[in-house]
Structure 1
Amino acid sequence: MDLEAETLQPEACYLALKARDARFDGSFFTGVTSTGIYCRPVCRVRTPKRENCRFFGLAAQAERAGFRPCLRCRPELAPHAPRWSIQDASDLLAQQAAALLDEPEAWADGGPSVELLARRLGVSDRHVRRLFEARFGVSPLQYLQTRRLLTAKQLLADTDLPVTQVALISGFASVRRFNAAFLQHYGLSPSRLRRDGGSGSGVAAVRLGYRPPYDVGAMLAFFRTRVVTGVEWVGPGVLRRTLSVTSAGRAHAGWLEAAFDEPRHQVVLRVGDALRPVLPLVIRRLRAALDLDADPLAIGAVLHESFPGTDGLRVPGTLSGHELAVRAVLGQQITVAAARTLTQRLVDRFGEPIETPWPELRRIFPTPEVLAAAGADALGQLGIVRQRQAAIVAIARAVADGRLQLHPGADLPSTVALLQSLPGIGDWTAQYIAMRALRWPDAFPAGDVALHKALGVQQSRQPAREAEAASQAWKPWRSYAVIRAWARLALTTSSGDKP
């Protein structure tokens, strides 16, 4: 059953729908002509007749065809469906355009438009529209509108945020436009949806879907071995941590809890009051940090033969690109435990205190502004060597003044080039940051010593070249190959070498 083809195969889709196969969640949506509703393949309602089903690769396509989202399976909970190509330049451009529209932090200077999108991609707005519609069957604005409406629908159903606030943080310019769009697309007003099924008080369980298999234990173990006391805590099936998010020039510092609901293939997110105004940003960051949008079938098709038994592994991301970059620098050429010790000292010295429901969470990771102003002597007193002092300050200054963007919507080649131009940042660190903060699925730190051991090339004259050559068979999923190689190495050693 090949659901990764350019055109969906209706019979294959129907088989997945009948089986309620969660592996295909978000890969397609089913429009039911007898009801006018579109659903996820995991929807628990009675399976519709085959002749009443139409299949769409995107929610926006289903809505353009006149279908409304199911209120039971809630299409907004489905994981996104990234598809990757290394051959068709037009397809790559359309995919990049969609990825930018999906990434709110790519538009810190205001909401996206086709003109701004075209400028980011270096082509004309007419060319963007043509390629986008040819690839997805909808215009960029229709795609963006569906994303905004589904975000708003989730916030209305799962939180008690005021409708006005929901409209604005979902990307609508005014409440009037939001109400009109919601009524036009879904046939009911936002307030009616909340009365019928919304949350009664506080931020309730905001649910985020993912596709199985997902090795929850491995993901949380990765974070657990790197826990910095005061900033994060990991327990059975649960990740808690503090977080600072800057939006529209204002910092929002608070806490979040992410709990895995494995039987439903979901993560339940809760946040404190301070992060409620930036909840869509937090959701997007958490999806990236836990790699919830990965497609295990596509990745496994390339990597399974080389790394059997590892199909549930994901690439751990980060909730803060700046934090990840600093921790990567601190972890250069030392063990995980040593890197954690240095990071702990940095947090204890420069992290701002914060109140949370849990005593183990009491500090925010130092902001770029704080570290940019830190003197070399202060960093040196923590045991950080001179070269890494310079790298930390350079990263912090570049992030603070906006020159360096460390999120999935950042331009990959220019960001990697800028990182490597900073003092103390080489190819390994830049590739590691690209893998975890920029969410590049094909990053490959060829000079990594642990990777050399895992691939059995550590005794070669040029192990980095040998590793690079071996990695060509794993494109475009080399980041996942790195994680699987490290996991294989961990089976034969008691500690790793990664920050």
Structure 2
Amino acid sequence: MTTIIDTTESDACVLLGWRAPYDTAAMLGFLRLRAIPGMERVEEGTYTRTLRLMQDGQEHCGWLSVAFDEMRAQARVTISNSLAGVLPTLINRVRDAFDLDADPLAIDAVLHSAFPSGAGLRVPGTVDGFELAVRAVLGQQITVAAARTLGARLVAAFGQPITTPLAGMDRLFPTPAALIAASGDELGRLGITRQRQAALKALAEAVLEGGLVLSPGVDVAATCARLRALPGIGDWTAQYIALRALRWPDAFPAGDVALQKALGVSSAQAATQAAQGWRPWRGYAVLRAWQSLH
């Protein structure tokens, strides 16, 4: 039986600061292009989403919104009352998701000569490492718009319904257990290829069993090696997950075609060579390179 989660109680609000400069328009633009209908939206300078957090064996479900006040260098985070019990954890995840703790001066000191207009760019993270990894798999070798379409279908088919006071926000992202239980035919009807199905199921099993932790603070090299050992996950996907979910500032998906185009090279080896001088901030260089294409 489907459980409907009600989160219509009163809400909480916290203010989180950052060190300027911060290109909030670029951050919101990145998230807007990837927002999955039913669980995410970006409008009027505010990012809103539904969310499930597990803590001490308990499930906490609700929603949050993040609005930016550039004059005060603050993010105003509104959180449903149902998430009040995990507020400290949620604050840390929001800080990671929006890269609020970055030191832009230290980063720009290394990258300015190559990317002089990118001082305010931050690396978009995530509040849920498993979700980000699934979305990375769905996005392999297809456009951002196509990946968003697959994500929307996956959420509609396997995401748990949730009741919120926010119009159109009525789904949670699927759990690892839900993806493991999904049949190949069900996933295939969504347009997910067999190769991606195998990757999603292996990823979900590794996370559910506890052998794969996708959050900041883990051993990045070991985690990337575990990811690459899964079927259908190569270095690009592992590096992308390291960049956004593990919060590794030196992550570098050298095989990314858009990155190579921005750098004016035609191979992963050439991209890696071009980026040697950007360590330990190659992840921020990736965002600046992508932004330069627009």
TM range (shorter): over 0.9
Any unmatched runs of 5+ in structure 2? 1-8
Matched residue, 1:483:
287
Out of 240, 246, 250, the position equivalent to 1:432 is 240
Partners of 1:361 and 1:234 lie apart in 2 by: 12
1:369 deviates by 1.4
Instruction: Give the superposition deviation at 1:205.
Output: 2.7
Matches within 5 A, 1:136-151: none
Q: Determine whether 1:258 maps to 2:66.
A: yes
- The equivalences for 1:140-219 within 5 A come to 203-219=11-27
Distance 1:487 1:388 in 2: 28
Which residue among 473, 478, 487 is the counterpart of 2:277? 473
SS at match of 1:205: strand
Q: 1:423 aligns with which of 214, 217, 231?
A: 231
TM-score, L = length of structure 1 = 0.57
- Check the 8 A contact 1:372/1:400 in 2, yes or no: no
Equivalent runs, 1:274-285 vs 2, <5 Å: 274-285=82-93
Deviation, 1:203, is: 4.7
Question: Is residue 234 from structure 1 mapped to residue 42 from structure 2 by the alignment?
Answer: yes
Gapped regions of structure 1 (runs ≥ 5) = 1-200, 491-499
Asked if residue 291 in structure 1 is aligned to residue 87 in structure 2, the reply is: no
Q: Are the counterparts in 1 of residues 12 and 80 from structure 2 also a CA contact under 8 Å?
A: no
In the alignment, is residue 352 of structure 1 matched against residue 160 of structure 2?
yes
Distance 2:86 2:182 in 1: 28
Tell me the alpha carbon deviations over residues 399-423 of structure 1, each in whole angstroms, 9 at most, x when there is no partner: 1111110110222111111000000
Q: How far apart are the structure 2 equivalents of 1:445 and 1:204?
A: 38
1:202–1:363 Cα change, 3 Å = closer
In the alignment, the residues of structure 1 paired with residue 168 and residue 66 of structure 2 have an alpha-carbon distance, to the nearest angstrom, of 16
1:202 is displaced (CA, Å) by 5.3
Equivalent residue, structure 2, for 1:303: 111
Q: CA deviation at 1:368?
A: 1.1
Q: Could you tell me which residue of structure 2 aligns to residue 361 of structure 1?
A: 169
Name the structure 1 match of 2:212.
404
Runs of at least 4 residues off by over 3 Å: 201-204
Contact preservation (8 Å) 1:431, 1:444: yes
Q: What is the CA deviation profile of residues 348-369 of structure 1, one whole-angstrom value per residue up to 9, with x for unaligned ones?
A: 1001110111112110000111
Alignment of 1:322-361 (within 5 A): 322-361=130-169
Q: How many residues align?
A: 286
Structure 2 CA distance for aligned equivalents of residues 279 and 203 of structure 1: 12
SS in 1 for 2:15: strand
**Does structure 2 conserve the Cα–Cα contact (< 8 Å) formed by 1:314 and 1:483?**
yes
One-letter amino acid matched to 1:436: R
Q: What is the TM-score with the length of structure 2 in the denominator?
A: 0.95
How big is the alpha-carbon RMSD for the aligned residues of Structure 1 and Structure 2?
Answer: 1.1
* Paired position in structure 2 for 1:386: 194
Cα pair 2:187 2:197 within 8 Å, conserved: yes
Q: CA deviation at 1:204?
A: 4.0
Higher strand share: 2
Question: Which residue number in structure 2 is paired with residue 12 of structure 1?
Answer: none
Give distance in 2, aligned partners of 1:416 and 1:456. 27
Asked if 2 retains the 8 angstrom alpha-carbon contact of 1:441 and 1:478, the reply is: yes
Counterparts of 1:271 and 1:398, CA distance in 2: 30
- 2:29 is matched with 221
Residue type of the alignment partner of 2:181: A
| Partner SS for 1:322 | helix
Aligned counterparts of 1:400 and 1:388: Cα–Cα separation in 2: 18
* Contact 2:10 2:80 (8 Å CA) reproduced: no
Q: Is the 8 A contact 1:232 1:360 kept in 2?
A: no
User: What's the secondary structure of 1:482's corresponding residue?
Assistant: helix
Q: Deviations over 1:129-158 (max 9, x none)?
A: xxxxxxxxxxxxxxxxxxxxxxxxxxxxxx
Query: C-alpha displacement at 1:375, in angstroms?
Result: 1.8
| Aligned-partner SS, 1:398 | helix
Contact 2:259 2:286 in 1 (8 A): yes
Q: How far, CA to CA, are the matches of 1:429 and 1:204 in structure 2?
A: 35
3-state SS of paired residue (1:292):
coil
Q: Residues 240 and 255 of structure 1 are in contact (CA less than 8 Å); yes or no, is this contact kept in structure 2?
A: yes
Q: Distance in 2 between matches of 1:214 and 1:335?
A: 27
CA–CA distance in structure 2, aligned partners of residues 406 and 295 of structure 1: 23
- Distance (whole Å) between structure 2 residues aligned to residue 385 and residue 292 of structure 1: 36
Correspondence 1:315 to 2:119: no
Rg comparison, structure with higher value = 1
CA distance in 2: counterparts of 1:478 and 1:445, whole angstroms:
10
